[in-house]
Structure 1
Amino acid sequence: MYADYDEIIERISVQALWDFPGGVHPPQQKELSNTTPIETLPLPDMFYVPIKQHIGTGGQILVNEGDYVLKGQALSANDLALSVPVHAPTSGTVTNIGEHVSAHPSGIGELTICIKPDGLDKWTDLVPLKDYVNHPKHDLVNAICKAGISGLGGAGFPTHIKAGEHKDIEFLIINGVECEPYISSDDRLMREHAWQIRQGIDILVHLIKPKQVLVAIEDNKPEAIETLSVACQQQTKYQVVSIPTKYPAGGEKQLVQVLTSREIPTDGLPADVGCMMFNVGTCFAISDAIMEGKPLIERIVTLTGDAFDAPKNVWARLGTPISHLLSAGSYSTSKQESPRVIMGGPMMGFTVSSLQTPVVKITNCLLAPADKELPTPEDERACIRCSACAEACPASLLPQQLFWYSKAKEYDIAQEYNLFDCIECGACAYVCPSEIPLVHYYRKAKADIRIQQEEKEKAEKARIRFEARQERLLKEKLEREEKHRKAAEARKQSMNKDGGAAKDKIAAALARAKAKKEALAQQQGDNATVTNTEPQESTQTSGRARVESKAPSDKKDKVAAAIARAKAKKLAKSEAVSEDKKSDNEAVSQESNIVSSDRKKEDSAQGAAENAAVDSTVTTSSDSPEKKANDKKAKVAAAIAKAKAKKLEKAKMNEQDNTQANTQNESND
């Protein structure tokens, strides 16, 4: 049964705290670096700023190669829920955007922005919110997000997500335990900047509104306990609590259990048990973001280990290559058979693969141990089932079984043994006599399971999309069929209602068609009559009449009638021409008869003349028969010319009439 609020407050006031199972007590070695003040380093020759330095997703890049950036300028945007931006650590030029070695055990390349400093270290415009109590909560949470703040205690969870929590919180826990050996960055921060940490706590209290604030510090940091106690003494709700030194007392679940006796459920969060936790470094960054408007561009890093001639804590800009920090700590390789630098502490840290690995938001220590100080792990040996790992596990797991199933890739069974409850503290590997890197197997198993889950989720999303599409297509098909069915029914009903009227309309249409057909047939008969009168033109007329008879429209009927009238008129004119020809022939015939009678008369006259010539010898040239014959021929030629002229005039008149008839037909067409 968990303790209630009043009981927790009472026990904390008398330092009667709870405990968590397991844990180990490795040598602390903090005195190597916690005795000197924090130093500020000169700028390196190049910064390597990874886009993703936290749990979640990286933001969208806002700069291009060749751009000039100012100190504190946003390099990426927080366009997704679990993303926070990164900022330029100094002013300079973006020289490259591409893959660079990452702060990860594998050293795998990740998207990085390379910035060459210009030495001016010029700030961008800052927007502080010093009167934060007068601003809406949303504005403060958004400012924390825009500042790129994520958990600086090691997890790297986006701070604005936790700060915007809407659950009722009883205890706001400020984690200053720093339980891992060698690391003293939080210790020096609390000693030198207790007031700014207090300001960050005030801002979180304004946002979260807890009932009580508990500042937890391990009892091996007396100076830090004293300075923070002084900084918080004016606030009755703030209480600095000294925690017994035990690894991993600084773990989130373990610290909640020590202070409240409450256990965070599997896949649960501290908020589920009424608690919220932030690291002291995160509180300092929140104070900088709200009170000064500064984004997160630097953090304190501990340089420690016997391979450093001058161990210390330094302010390191994010993106600084660790080679620059090693020079600042006077790193000497003479105490190591081969160069070996661990990012993090000896329990949870990892050996970096390159000295160009950059400092990121969760980098709290660079450990360069001498060979005798921290021997290189020996080769892995077989498990002897000593159960030392189970006794040391602070999460009450069975590391031995988890190791077997993780190594055999039987991930379903490993999850049944609560693999994801492992906090990867390294206590099991620390006590293992067989030198088995247990945490390595757990991390690999978790990564494989996450990949499988992502693939399964993608497949499930694809299946849902496919089924949704099929359902949509089927729905559209049914809608179309229903629409067509309704339309058919409507047509059927309309035909049933208007059946009589429709039949009458059809009958009337048939009658009109029949009448037109009879009219065309009659017209064809008329054209046939005309054809018998004039063979050549009747053939053409009947052909055109047959063509026109097929036209169903009134316009074509009118055209056919006009053509018939024109042809009738033409026929009449042709008959008139025929009569004219007949009269011409009769005139010619009469003229011929006259000529013949004249010839007869001339012959008789000639004979008489010849007889007279016999009787009379005196004749004259004017009375000769040749003259008389020429006069007759002239009269006949004049009559013929007159007839031809009359015939030509009638032909022209006929041609003009035909032209007018054709013109009228074309206009009718």
Structure 2
Amino acid sequence: MKRFTFRGGVHPPHFKKATEKLSVEKAKIPQVVTIPLQQHIGAPCEPLVKVGDKVKIGQKIGQANAFVSAPIHSSIAGTVKKIASFDSPTGSKVQCIVIESDGSNEVHEDVRAKGELHNLSKKEILEIIKEAGITGMGGAGFPTHVKLSPPPDKPIDTVIINGAECEPFLTADHRMMLEHPEKVVFGLKAIMKVLDVRKGFIGIEDNKPDAIKVMEEAVMNEPDIDVAPVRTKYPQGDEKRLINAITGREVPSGGLPMDVGLVVNNVGTAAAICDAIKTGMPVIERVVTISGSAINEPKNLLVRIGTSFKEVIEQCGGYKSDLGKLISGGPMMGFAQFTDEIPVIKGTSGILALNKKDAKIPDEQPCIRCGKCVSICPVNLEPLFIAKFSQKRLYDEAEKYHALDCIECGSCSFICPSKRKLLQSIRTGKREIISKRKKS
């Protein structure tokens, strides 16, 4: 069987054995949730409720007033206790709605099946996706209805569902494909109908042979959909790398997948689209992998949005040793957190807790100009120079070296024998360049 791949990349340890064989369990419904009104790229939502209001499961509580935004829904039934700013996994304070459960688990009357896929028009499906608040569930958080609304001059001919899940430790997408392949296929077919596309792929890394087999069986009677096994290599799950690996097309610098006729969506996103159409339930929960050397019982849990990291970890037996680092997401592209009193959001694919030994960061050494970061960069950049210019605050020079094309995969920091903090420096440079552009 042919295996697709891309240039560059690295091979970090997988660390997936702790959870890859564990079925997804339903997490306990929390007594209190803190639901951020911005869990996506784009404009924050405006609250539709006030303190004291009663809400039900699936009820819209945050209205998206901009095109690049996504509505927010209540994940529990209860009473709104507070609307205020709280810390979020994104690293910033976000206006949140705090809801206390009343124990009724009452579902809102708007949550109902939307009809058969073959009877729904493209416009109707797109509106269902928008109103369900579906965003990229792989972590990026880009509103899905925006991604599925390309301009007329950007015709789409192919859709790829991203099941690579190349990030170490994480197994949420793997389990979704094994346990609910029909949801993934249904979601892909809905996306293909919206975009009027006749060809779909499901890209899966070849370290998941069981998922490849299950998904191949699921598309056996779907002539327009193929499973595309890709070589296990990080960051295979980056959408532009996946496009290049499967189709051979290369997204231009500063461009988007739609520039080469493709749209890529995550496995979890496809499943959420299926739920929105078949049951009418918006995004109120997601599968989260909880793992790491400081976790007592690693698990894959279906967690309600707004549940605190602390409560989720307690359902995994708590910490088994002194916590060294807490990460939202995986170790390569995730974000370290200073507290576990933050909520699970739509993009929380994993919660990683490392003990002090595993979290220890080696001391930086001088760059030896070995060129390893250049040879493995999947975007063909020169990370050592971009990082150096960023450290010296020479942001115009960093921009000339295409800093904004960096996908922040962290491969350069991983491979560096001098343990240079290349990714952190490049991220800083990118933020400064973007800030300067906005000001001008």
TM-score, normalising length: structure 2:
0.96
Q: Does 1:47 align with 2:33?
A: yes
| Aligned twin of 2:104 | 120
1:408 aligns with 2:392: yes
Measured in 2, the distance between the counterparts of 1:37 and 1:318 equals 20
**Partner-residue secondary structure (3-state), 1:47:** strand
Structure with greater helix percent: 1
2:360 corresponding residue in structure 1: 376
Partner residue in 2 for 1:469 = none
Give the letter for the 1:321 counterpart: S
Q: Which amino acid aligns with 2:57?
A: K
1:250 to 221, 224, 237: 237
Q: Give the Cα separation in 1 of the matches to 2:359 and 2:28.
A: 33
Identity score, percent: 38
Q: Per-residue CA shift, 1:272-294, capped at 9, x if unaligned? A: 11211111100000011111111
Q: Which runs of 5+ in 2 are unaligned?
A: none
The equivalent position to 1:234 in structure 2, one of 221, 224, 247, is 221
Deviations 1:450-482 (A, max 9, x none): 2222222xxxxxxxxxxxxxxxxxxxxxxxxxx
1:199 maps to 2:196: no
- Residues 309 and 287 (structure 1), Cα distance of their counterparts in 2 relative to 1, 3 Å cut: same
- Counterpart residue identity of residue 414, structure 1: A
Aligned to 1:159: 144
Q: Is the 8 A contact 2:413 2:420 kept in 1?
A: yes
User: Does the alignment pair 1:427 with 2:411?
Assistant: yes
Q: 2:163 pairs with 161, 176, 194, which one?
A: 176
CA distance in 2, matches of 1:408, 1:314: 44
Are 1:36 and 2:36 an aligned pair?
Answer: no
- Please state whether the residue corresponding to 1:440 is helix, strand or coil: helix
For the pair 1:395 / 2:379, whether they are aligned, the reply is yes
Measured after TM superposition, the shift of residue 333 of structure 1 is 4.3
Counterpart amino acid of residue 21 in structure 2? T
| Residues 330-349 of structure 1 aligned to structure 2 (within 5 Å) | 330-334=317-321, 336=322, 338-349=323-334
Give the secondary structure class of the aligned counterpart of 1:316. strand
Question: Which runs of no fewer than 5 residues in structure 1 stay unpaired?
Answer: 1-13, 457-669
Q: Which amino acid aligns with 1:151?
A: G
Give 2:174's aligned residue: 187
- Asked if residue 93 in structure 1 is aligned to residue 79 in structure 2, the reply is yes
Whole-Å separation in 1 of the counterparts to 2:165 and 2:15: 13
Q: Name the SS of the counterpart of 2:177 in structure 1.
A: helix
Q: Which moved more, 1:180-189 or 1:111-120?
A: 111-120
2:346 pairs, out of 349, 361, 380, with: 361
- TM-aligned CA deviation for residue 386 of structure 1: 2.0
Deviation (angstroms), 1:339: 4.4
Q: What do residues 551-572 of structure 1 show as CA deviations (whole Å, max 9, x unaligned)? A: xxxxxxxxxxxxxxxxxxxxxx
Alignment correspondent of 1:219: 206
User: Using CA pairs below 8 Å that are at least 6 residues apart, which structure has the higher relative contact order?
Assistant: 2
Contact 2:324 2:354 in 1 (8 A): no
1:60 to 32, 46, 49: 46
Equivalent residue letter for 1:388: K
Output the CA distance in 2 between the equivalents of 1:135 and 1:32. Answer: 41
- Counterpart AA for 2:48: L
Code of the residue aligned with 1:366 in structure 2: it is I
Deviations 1:563-598 (A, max 9, x none): xxxxxxxxxxxxxxxxxxxxxxxxxxxxxxxxxxxx
The answer as to whether partners of 1:130 and 1:292 remain within 8 angstroms in 2 is: no
2:336 to 336, 351, 367: 351
1:512-551: per-residue Cα shift (whole Å, max 9, x none)?
A: xxxxxxxxxxxxxxxxxxxxxxxxxxxxxxxxxxxxxxxx
Deviation at 1:168, TM superposition (A): 2.6
Give secondary structure in 2 for the equivalent of 1:255. Answer: helix
- Bigger CA radius of gyration: 1
- The CA deviation at 1:379 is 3.2
After TM superposition, give the deviation of residue 45 of structure 1 in Å: 2.9
Secondary structure of 1:268's counterpart equals coil
Q: Give distance in 2, aligned partners of 1:93 and 1:446.
A: 41
Task: State the 1:217 CA deviation.
Answer: 0.5
8 Å contact 1:321–1:358 — kept in the other structure?
Answer: yes
Q: How far, CA to CA, are the matches of 2:214 and 2:14 in structure 1?
A: 21
Cα offset for 1:370?
A: 3.1
For 1:225, what is the secondary structure of its paired residue? helix
CA RMSD of aligned residues (A): 1.5
Change (3 A) 1:339 1:403: closer
**Structure 1: 4+ residue segments shifted above 4 A:** none
- Tell me how far 1:97 sits from its aligned partner: 0.7
Q: Which residue of 1 aligns with 2:60?
A: 74
Could you tell me how far 1:423 is from its partner in structure 2?
Answer: 0.4
Distance (Å, rounded) in 2 between the aligned partners of 1:138 and 1:38: 33
Do the aligned partners of 1:101 and 1:354 also contact (CA within 8 Å) in 2?
no
Alignment partner of 1:347: what SS?
Answer: coil
Find 2:299's aligned residue among 309, 312, 319. Answer: 312
Asked if the contact 1:169–1:211 (Cα under 8 Å) also holds between the matched residues in 2, the reply is no
Structure 1 residue 234, shift from structure 2 partner: 0.7
**C-alpha deviation, 1:397, in angstroms:** 0.2
How many angstroms apart in 2 are the aligned matches of 1:74 and 1:409? 44
The count of corresponding residues between Structure 1 and Structure 2 is 437
| Higher relative strand content | 2
Please report how far the alpha carbon of residue 199 of structure 1 lies from its aligned counterpart in structure 2 after TM superposition.
1.1
Distance 1:160 1:235 in 2: 24
By how many angstroms is 1:59 displaced?
1.6
Aligned-partner SS, 1:31: coil
Write the distance in 1 (CA, Å) between the matches of 2:371 and 2:107: 56
SS in 2 for 1:169: coil
Instruction: Tell me how far 1:253 sits from its aligned partner.
Output: 1.0
Q: Give yes or no for contact 1:388–1:431 (8 Å, CA) kept in 2.
A: yes
* Residue number among 277, 291, 294 corresponding to 2:264 in the alignment: 277
